[in-house]
Amino acid sequence: MKPNYIKFLLLFFSLVFIFRFTFFPVASLGIGVSKGGLNLIPLKMFNEFSSVKQFIVNIFGNIILFVPFGFILTSIKRSKKVILIGLFLSVSIEVLQFMMSFRTSDIDDVILNTLGTFIGYKLSKTNLF
């Protein structure tokens, strides 16, 4: 198997992982178990956490979810456009979630997902891997 096939396979699994957590409820993490909604106010999330677990899942979960995507995509396409692709993917997910009654569309998720893509992009540019 050639290295490019492995990269595309890893990218596919990264996308499957992203879609799993963004479109299907995970009750143990409190994901997708509330009434849907819309938040267009940036950084509003910092005022709305009811527990440390919810804070960690939301903030770090959204970032970590997109780090492998940014890392793998940068290894395939060496361009800063990877960050724009991450932004586009995140916005697309939030638009689709808006149409779902049990998901909340949140501008903060777009910010954190894009940050995760950026971190993956930067990690791919280091000599650590």
pLDDT tens sequence for the chain (129 residues)? 567 899 999 999 999 999 999 998 887 777 766 777 888 999 887 777 777 888 888 899 999 999 999 999 999 988 989 999 999 999 999 999 999 887 889 999 999 999 999 999 999 988 765
User: What is the pTM for the complete model shown?
Assistant: 0.90
From 53, 61, 69, select the one nearest 108 (Cα to Cα). Answer: 61
* Residue 47 pLDDT: 77
Distance (Å, whole) CA 32 – CA 22: 8
